[in-house]
Structure formats: structure tokens, C-alpha cells
Structure 1
Amino acid sequence: MSGMSAIERQALRGAGVDLAADVTGPVDGQPILFLHGSGQTRQSWGKALIEAARHGFRALSMDLRGHGDSGWSPDGRYDLTVFADDLRAVLAQMDRPPVVVGASLGGIVGMIVAAADPAAIRALVLVDITATVDMEGANEVIAFMNAGSDGFASIEEAAAAVSAYLPHRDKPQSSQGLAKNLRQRGARWYWHWDPAFMTMGVDAKQEAEGPTVLETAARGLTIPTLLIRGGRSRIVTEEGARVFLEMVPHADYVHIDGAHHMVAGDANDAFNDAVFRFADRQVEGSAQDDG
């Protein structure tokens, strides 16, 4: 596709909150919707949005409620039902079902909605998330998020916290990219998510004890599904991936060596290759169905 599309900021309406999104690519292209994980923002997809537009997709990357530039829950609730209701509201505003690419929390929400309403989503890409989460790895994420609850004296101090949490990543030359995820209040810098969101970690632990909402959703998936796992993930183990593929026998699986939980950031090119090989196939398949 020649010529680069500009990225436009768009306001979407969730279930009672306004959601911020970046949109690019041809207006009549097959929509593809990127949903980030806990504590992240729509900026976390690296070059995926631009790459999607290059492939002819109408690409949207959205901040989940309580994150980035999206509204916070007026009642402080952040359970999976609320996120799923937001996604349903957004899907109702789209002219046709999108391919949904969800990392971590975004993937869980996509899986719940896709299982309940398969006609609303064209295909689903789960980025390092399955129906079973390794709690030791999940607790590391929760601990990192909680550690910033009192804020930081400077952007550099926040950058040092990220480097300690992601020691495998090259430290960026500048902390300015990180500034997008922080907001200054008084003399301190805070991650730009609603502190009430952290109560969700408590729900996650309780849910891990019985046959979960997620297992039910996974077994209910009928749409084309791709699981991408970071080879060095502490959230999805190789065993967790195998169990998921038994629950969803029609799913495709891509294992990206060397990538950790935040696969898109750790191995952007390999991640994009896997996503668009799968997504392009869905579009070609639907064109043949129409023809």
C-alpha cells in the first residue's frame, strides 16, 4: 500500500465512559482492534498499528477504561464484566466485526466477548494470555504496578523501576516515551491508570481457584483464534499453552523465542509477522466466502 496514513485520535463510547483510541489505515479496510494489557496504554503496540495500515487494515488501538487517556470508572469498578461491556459497546459502533488483538487483560476481555457473541468479532489473537494464568508471574506484574502507587520523584526514577522490572530490554536513550504513561501531580509522577484498578488483582486471585470464567470462555470459542506466546513468558507457560490448545483445538499457535510477556515490545517484527500472516488469511477467507 503506498502512502502512509496519519494516525488520528478518536473518542469511542464505552459502557458509560469515554475511551481514547488511535486510528489509522484506509477507512474501508477490514477493522483490526488492538487491546493492551493491565497498566499499559494504546501506545504499547509499537509499530503494529502502522504495519496494520500498511496491510490495508483500518487499525484502532484503544486505551481500556482506567488507563491512558480513557475515562475512569465512576464507581471504581474494574471487573472483567465492565471491560467486556466496554468492548461490546465499541464493537456496536463499528461497521463490521474486527479482528481483535488482545494482550493479557485485553486478550481476556476479547476471549469473553468472542465466546458469548461470535458474530461480533471476525477473529481473535491472544498475545501471551490463555485461560490459565501462572499466578507467580501474574503476582510479579501486580507487585510492579503496586510499587508505583506512591508515585516517583522524577521520570528517570520511573524509568529505573521499569528497567528493574524488564531487565532484558535495552534501556531507551530517552525517558520521553515513558512520559506518555505518567502524569504529574504536585511534585511527583504517577502511572496514568486509576489506582482503583489495582483491586482487580484481588478478583484475579479468587477466580484462579475454581473452573473459571476464562476456561468457560476458551471452551466456547468458535471463531478463528491465534495464540502467540513469548518463549520466555512468566505468565503463560508452555504447559499453559498446551492446555489452552486442548480447550480450543482449532486455534493456531505461534511461539516467539526470546520474547517475554510483553511480546509486541520485545520482538516487534516477529510479532507483526505472526499477527498479519493470520489476519491477512482471515480477510482472504472472508473475500472468498463473499465471492
Structure 2
Amino acid sequence: MKVQAWFKGANGNRLAADLSGAEDAPTVILLHGGGQTRHSWARAHQVLADKGYRVVSVDARGHGESDWAADGDYSLEAQVADLLAVIKALGGRPVLVGASMGGTQSLVVCGRYPDIAKALVLVDVTPRLEPQGIEHIVGFMTRHPDGFASLEQAAEAVGAYNPNRPPPRDLSGLARNLRLRDDGRWYWHWDPCFIVGDHRDKVERISQTMKAAAPAVRVPTLLVRGRQSDVVSPDGVEELRSMLPHLAFVDIEGAGHMVAGDKNDHFNSAIIDFLQEHHPLPQEEQTEAGL
């Protein structure tokens, strides 16, 4: 059964989360990308919970229902500090599954604190971030500052950004990532301060921080790339492999940067196979889950 939970971030900021599974089950923390919310993991969360894992999907600071940063600090260092606070509150050594922004946090944490996690899954993110892909993302996030007149209009904007994914039949999932304000328009539910400033400089600093952390990662690591991604290139994959010789890699055909949403079944299969090897359930729970 999924319940809403709250964690205290590094600055006392509240972080909203969905939590499923028994407290003593192996834990998987799902960390979304920039401009998304924990609901982007909805199907993966449910599949992992049904398998018997303790699953925690967290809204990053300034996203979803988590507190917006009063000082406007959405730096990688602030996000890393929040993630450390969540891990400490949960106890034990979880598997970290991070998409894009969530993956940068996870990689840095695992590099700086080698024993903090059992394993690491990076979803379409490497230290080498292709400029055209970043421009694509920033363009999408800044294109509609005045919101949308309807959910259908928001869906059209998503479709223009991500033609790999068929338009949703049910807009309720999309609605979880927007908020209807008093002016009658729908707005993405994240702090606009998250995207201010020179994004090229930010991306370069993030890239350098990841490159510094990656060689120290010792835990089993899986990179799941969308084959049509414009953010992670084959060269970026090989560069990460040179830093992490133990890296496992899955390239999912028909998926772009938003891998879990584009090809959810393929994504779930890839991470479940990885988890069964590196973060297995107790034998009794595996039998009950039909594994």
C-alpha cells in the first residue's frame, strides 16, 4: 500500500515522498529529473513494490509538493545534502535510481560515500551531457512561463518536446505535475527559480563534479540509456565506462531522455534484473512475489 511520507531535508525543508513496502524489505529510492515530480515514477514504483521492495519516490526540493527553497538554492550540493538526509532517515543501504538530475545526485553521493548504497542505477545521465540535449530541455522548461489554458494544451507541449511518446489518453497523470492557479491556468509544479541563471555554466559545474566523483564509485552500477536520447551519447557512455569499468549498460530502443515514461516495461525489466542480482529480496519474499 502506497502512503505519503515526509522527510526533512538538509535545511529543515520538507520533502514529499510516496512510500510502499515493508520497513525491513530491501529499499529502492527513486529520484526524478529536473522539472518532474515523484509521480513520474508511478508505474515503476508500483512494479517494484509488487515485487516486494520497499520503494521511496521523492519530490526534490522545489518540485511537486516539496518545499521551495527560501534562498533559491537548487545547486547540486544542496540536492546531495537532501538525499543524504533522506538516506539517513530511512536507515540501511538502499539502491539509488536516479533519472537525469536525480542521477547526478546519486552518482555524487555514491562517489563521496562509497558504502552508503547497495547499488546505483543511472537513467539517461552521464558526466558528459550533450549541449543540444540540454538546450532542448531548457527550452521546454522555459517556453510556457504563463502556463496553459488547459491540460490538453499542456499535453500538446509535452508531445512537441517528446515525439517518441504517444499522447496520453488519460490526462490525470499529467495533472499531477501541474497546478491550477487562481487565474484559471495550469502551471508546472516547480519553483521557477530552479531554472534561472546561466544554465551552460551550471551544467559545466555539474559535469565536472560528476567526473570527480565517478572514479570513486565502487557499488554495482547500471546505466539505462534511451537510444534516441539527445542528452547521453554513445561517446558519453564510453567515457563513463572508462571511469567505471564495472558499469552495466542497457540501451533501450524507442526511448528518449525520459526513458521510464517512454518505454516503461523495458525499463522496469532492466532494473528488476539488476536488482535481483545486486539487491535481492529474501528468499521467502521472492517466492511470494513469484520471482
| Residue number in structure 1 paired with 2:286 | none
User: Structure 2: which 5+ residue stretches go unaligned?
Assistant: 284-291
Q: CA deviation at 1:211?
A: 7.3
* Shift in CA distance, 111/208, structure 1 to aligned 2, threshold 3 Å: same
Q: CA deviation at 1:285?
A: 10
* Shift in CA distance, 76/251, structure 1 to aligned 2, threshold 3 Å: same
Structure 2: which amino acid aligns with 1:167?
P
- The two structures have a TM-score, normalised by structure 1, of 0.92
Contact 2:29 / 2:56 at 8 angstroms: preserved in 1? Answer: yes
CA RMSD of aligned residues (A): 1.8
Most deviating of 164-173 and 188-197: 164-173
Task: Report the Cα distance in structure 2 between the residues aligned to 1:18 and 1:44, rounded to whole angstroms.
Answer: 19
Residue 15 of structure 1, aligned match among 10, 13, 37 = 10
1:222 is paired with a residue whose SS is coil
Residue 187 of structure 2, aligned match among 172, 185, 190 = 190
User: 1:35-67 deviations in whole A, cap 9, x for unaligned?
Assistant: 000101101114211111122210011110110
Task: Report the Cα distance in structure 1 between the residues aligned to 2:210 and 2:221, rounded to whole angstroms.
Answer: 15
* Shift in CA distance, 195/209, structure 1 to aligned 2, threshold 3 Å: closer
| Residue number in structure 2 paired with 1:90 | 86
* Shift in CA distance, 114/260, structure 1 to aligned 2, threshold 3 Å: same
Task: Report the Cα distance in structure 2 between the residues aligned to 1:95 and 1:88, rounded to whole angstroms.
Answer: 11
* Shift in CA distance, 203/144, structure 1 to aligned 2, threshold 3 Å: closer
Contact 1:25 / 1:52 at 8 angstroms: preserved in 2? Answer: no
Task: Report the Cα distance in structure 2 between the residues aligned to 1:280 and 1:204, rounded to whole angstroms.
Answer: 38
| Residue number in structure 2 paired with 1:65 | 61
Structure 2: which amino acid aligns with 1:187?
G
Instruction: Count residues with an aligned counterpart.
Output: 281
Structure 2: which amino acid aligns with 1:199?
V
Q: CA deviation at 1:283?
A: 2.4
User: 1:142-177 deviations in whole A, cap 9, x for unaligned?
Assistant: 100001222112222111111111122111123222
Task: Report the Cα distance in structure 2 between the residues aligned to 1:279 and 1:123, rounded to whole angstroms.
Answer: 8
Query: Within 5 Å, which residues of 2 pair with 1:111-122?
Result: 111-122=107-118
1:96 is paired with a residue whose SS is coil
User: Structure 1: which 5+ residue stretches go unaligned?
Assistant: 1-5
User: 1:7-53 deviations in whole A, cap 9, x for unaligned?
Assistant: 11101111121001111122210010000001011011142111111
In the alignment, is residue 42 of structure 1 matched against residue 16 of structure 2? no
Q: CA deviation at 1:242?
A: 1.0
Q: CA deviation at 1:270?
A: 0.9
Contact 2:9 / 2:82 at 8 angstroms: preserved in 1? Answer: yes
| Residue number in structure 2 paired with 1:3 | none
Structure 2: which amino acid aligns with 1:208?
E
In the alignment, is residue 33 of structure 1 matched against residue 29 of structure 2? yes
Task: Report the Cα distance in structure 1 between the residues aligned to 2:282 and 2:245, rounded to whole angstroms.
Answer: 21
2:39 is paired with a residue whose SS is helix
Contact 1:115 / 1:221 at 8 angstroms: preserved in 2? Answer: yes
Most deviating of 97-106 and 10-19: 10-19
- The two structures have a TM-score, normalised by structure 2, of 0.92
Contact 2:133 / 2:230 at 8 angstroms: preserved in 1? Answer: yes
Residue 228 of structure 2, aligned match among 232, 235, 252 = 232
Query: Within 5 Å, which residues of 2 pair with 1:1-291?
Result: 6-16=1-11, 17-185=13-181, 186-199=183-196, 202-208=198-204, 212-284=208-280
Task: Report the Cα distance in structure 1 between the residues aligned to 2:170 and 2:27, rounded to whole angstroms.
Answer: 33
Task: Report the Cα distance in structure 1 between the residues aligned to 2:256 and 2:148, rounded to whole angstroms.
Answer: 25
2:7 is paired with a residue whose SS is strand
